[in-house]
Amino acid sequence: MAKKNYLANPKKMQFMSTPENLKYTKDHEWVAIDGNVATIGITHYAQHELGDIVYVDINSVGKKLAAEEIFGTVEAVKTVSDLFLPVSGTITEVNPALEATPELVNSDPYGEGWMVKMEIEAGADLSRLMDAAGYNSLIG
């Protein structure tokens, strides 16, 4: 997918928000870390590029996965995209709201559109995750 530079246009800057309190991956997932619990979703940029989300398929609850492993897929009107885990650990919860309303990923990707929660593996490498400025440079 071609990258669009929304950050260069101040009018669209608000549209493509990148919360400062989250960490990001090159694959456009975000992660919020609270102790040893991580909440994960896809970025505003990713959901915008995918288009209207019609289905989220995550069947990984209870599975211990390594960083960058696929934990599910997201289906948009014209494409299906893999979801990659930002950190190693065990998936403990899938957002139950996404089953009935997958469009939450489009309307509120950093809030009600979160995808999974997980217990981070002790010693998980968080250093490869980007801060908001680094992520903005990636998508800019």
Q: What is the pLDDT of residues 27-59, one digit of tens each?
A: 999 999 999 999 999 999 999 999 999 999 999
Q: Is the pLDDT of residue 13 over 60?
A: no
12: enclosing H helix or E strand: helix 10-13
**pTM of the complete model:** 0.85
Instruction: Work out the end-to-end distance of the chain between its first and last CA atoms, rounded to an integer number of angstroms.
Output: 14
Q: What is the pLDDT of residues 67-110, one digit of tens each?
A: 999 999 999 998 999 999 999 999 999 999 999 999 999 999 99
Q: Sketch out the chain's domains with CATH numbers.
A: 22-122 (2.40.50.100)
Of the candidates 41, 45, 10, the one whose C-alpha atom is nearest the C-alpha of residue 138 is 45
* Residue 105, C-beta contacts closer than 8 angstroms, at least 6 positions apart: 41, 42, 47, 53, 56, 74, 98, 113, 115
Of the candidates 96, 28, 39, the one whose C-alpha atom is nearest the C-alpha of residue 68 is 28
